[in-house]
Amino acid sequence: MTASFHDLGLAPELLTTLQSLGYAEPTPIQAQAIPPLLAGQDVLGQAQTGTGKTAAFTLPALQNLDANGLQVLILTPTRELAIQVAEAVHRYGSGIGVRVLPIYGGQSYDRQIRRLRKGVQVVVGTPGRTLDLIDKKELNVRDVRYLVLDEADEMLKMGFIEDIELILKTTDASERQTSLFSATFTDTIRRLAQKYMRDPLQVSVEFEEATCTNVNQRYYVVQEDQKVAALSRLLEVENQKNTLIFTRTKIGAAELAETLMMRGYPAAAIHGDLSQAERERIVGRFRSRDLTILVATDVMARGVDIPDVSHVINYDIPQLSNEYVHRIGRTGRAGRSGDAITLVTPRQRRLLKMIEDFIGKPITRSKLPDRETVLQRRESIFKAGLLEQIGTYVDGSDEPLLDELLAMGYSAEQVAAGIIKSLRAQQTQRPLEEIREVTSSRELPQQRAKKSGRYGSHEPGMVRLCMNVGRSNGLRPADVVYSIASKANIPGSVIGAIDIQHHETYLDIPDSHVDVVLHEMKHYKIRGQMMKLARANERERAR
Ligand code: AMP
């Protein structure tokens, strides 16, 4: 039995946040690293992206946070990672109201210095800019009690070793708890650990190699609200024998199974409210092909022995890369071939990239079957069924009816056509919804060109949005970035120009993220004000 987050000793506020994020249980690196970090021990962790390492070092930092002053410093190799980690700190600390600032090169010093002067508790920085700000006496890291070197191997590859050592020397070693996370351990990393860490506890997650060489891995980019339509199309054209579909939540699993049943598929979910015996019974029906589709969450699928399947479908892309490997390992076993299909919404492309990095190879993007293909496929299935009937027709019990019809003067062709028509009418008509194609980011420029204008963005690929909150409400750019990045779960770095005016604010959001931002920010309060967000040109037209 795996430990729960509660067993690891985390505080109630953090547990509530984790629950609201839908994290069912700690990942291996979290289970191993959180207890010693909470106890104040130095930790040397071997873990790559996608294992949940960020939460592993962030949660203990948040739990031990005091009200004032800079206490936590996290060093990361790149600006993107600094922003991502700062977003994670913000997200995990949403229950306790943490003040965190990412600092990195390429952004003006002024902005970062202003924020630092206002006071922050956590800084996530790239080594170069962090050192610059220390030299300028704008960043005082002497009292940092919790220091993390994230992706240490990458930082060293980028030549940051001297900067890192200088930063470490500036902090008070006797007060400092240090942890280091790295995908690989080189001699330099070991030396660094020996020199600056106190008797570190070494933890590691087994490196899981994706051995699924005979699995055909594909992904499809679809909008969240079109996933059922996309899945339906795939189920119609794939040659699946038995399919295991993964969803993120158990409610999602039950709902999807219900939808598929309504569409005439023999599907069932193994969900949380079932006893072990009931789950086993459903899996038994799946094994005997009474059911051909099983819908499950990662946790649910773990406790039962599911047979090899022809298709694994990630209806919801897994958050954790090793979970992806677990999931697709359910197909292509014992030398057989298998298909692993992942539905990815535009905003989840980052997760996909993380999985690709983790498994060390790209996953092929595919195009959903078009209406024509689905209709042709339906027709060929219908024809095959008809031919089967014709081929196996042996008993003569229907001959009197046939003779009667022919005697009435109908030709054999007319009778056959009538029968085919009535058979068609009996077929279950599955819905075949329209699907809006999601263009890849490379295809966007032509679309973008059309959109610029006074109230459109001037930057290619960006759409200008307008919201009803501005300077008069005390709004600052950082509020905009953090609110949108955390609520809509997009990287803050992709948000473009922000123009805060007296009563309203204009901001640029990449085309590919606009729908999700508009959808997620519907009922959101910012600076105490209910936020109304719309495309700038639409707002203007509505006036
Ligand atoms: P990381 O390896 O830190 O980059 O995390 C990878 C992804 O896993 C992030 O999107 C996290 O939100 C997600 N994640 C972290 N911990 C858990 C967990 N215990 N359960 C589910 N998802 C998680």
Domains (range + CATH), the chain: 6-204 (3.40.50.300), 215-371 (3.40.50.300), 444-542 (3.30.70.330)
Give the DSSP H or E segment for 46: strand 43-46
Distance 401 CA to ligand 1 centre (A): 66
Cα angle, residue 85 at apex, residues 82 and 87 outer, rounded to 5°: 110
CB-CB contact of 10 with 63 (8 Å) = yes
Long-range CB contacts (within 8 A, 24+) of 416-420: 420/386
DSSP classification of residue 67? S
The pair of three-digit structure tokens given for residue 81, joined into one six-digit string = 């990672």
pLDDT, one tens digit per residue, over 140-175 is 999 999 999 999 998 998 899 999 999 999 999 998
pLDDT of amino acid 455: 55
Cα separation, 476 vs 460, whole angstroms: 24
Q: Indicate which atom in ligand 1 lies nearest the CA of residue 48.
A: 2
pLDDT of amino acid 257: 95
Determine if ligand 1 sits within 6 Å of the CB of residue 59.
no
Cα separation, 531 vs 533, whole angstroms: 6
Cα separation, 290 vs 169, whole angstroms: 66
Determine if ligand 1 sits within 6 Å of the CB of residue 369.
no
Ligand 1: which residue has its CA nearest to atom 12? 319
pLDDT of amino acid 479: 79
CB-CB contact of 292 with 266 (8 Å) = yes
Residue whose pair of structure tokens reads 């019990």 in the numeric block: 397
Phi, psi of 204 (to 5 degrees): -150, 155
Cα separation, 379 vs 64, whole angstroms: 64
Determine if ligand 1 sits within 6 Å of the CB of residue 320.
yes
Distance 76 CA to ligand 1 centre (A): 17
pLDDT of amino acid 448: 34
Cα separation, 90 vs 491, whole angstroms: 12
CB-CB contact of 70 with 143 (8 Å) = yes
Mutate to test the pocket of ligand 1, among 4, 8, 23 (most ligand atoms within 8 A of CB): 23
Phi, psi of 165 (to 5 degrees): -65, -40
Residue 100 three-state SS? strand
Q: Which residues contact 315 (CB under 8 A, 6 or more apart)?
A: 227, 231, 245, 246, 247, 252, 256, 295, 343
Is the four-CA dihedral 171, 177, 181, 184 of positive or negative sign? positive
Q: Indicate which atom in ligand 1 lies nearest the CA of residue 49.
A: 2
Distance 50 CA to ligand 1 centre (A): 6
CB-CB contact of 46 with 185 (8 Å) = yes
Q: Which residues contact 475 (CB under 8 A, 6 or more apart)?
A: 469, 500, 505, 526, 527
* pLDDT < 70: residue spans in the chain: 1-2, 206-213, 272, 303, 334-335, 393-394, 428, 439-460, 537-543
Distance 424 CA to ligand 1 centre (A): 48
Q: Indicate which atom in ligand 1 lies nearest the CA of residue 25.
A: 19
Distance 49 CA to ligand 1 centre (A): 9
Distance 351 CA to ligand 1 centre (A): 10
Computed on alpha carbons and rounded to an integer, the radius of gyration of the chain in Å comes to 28
Mutate to test the pocket of ligand 1, among 6, 299, 320 (most ligand atoms within 8 A of CB): 320
Ligand 1: which residue has its CA nearest to atom 14? 52
Determine if ligand 1 sits within 6 Å of the CB of residue 489.
no
pLDDT of amino acid 278: 87
Cα separation, 114 vs 112, whole angstroms: 5
The pair of three-digit structure tokens given for residue 319, joined into one six-digit string = 């958050």
CB-CB contact of 531 with 524 (8 Å) = yes
Determine if ligand 1 sits within 6 Å of the CB of residue 50.
yes
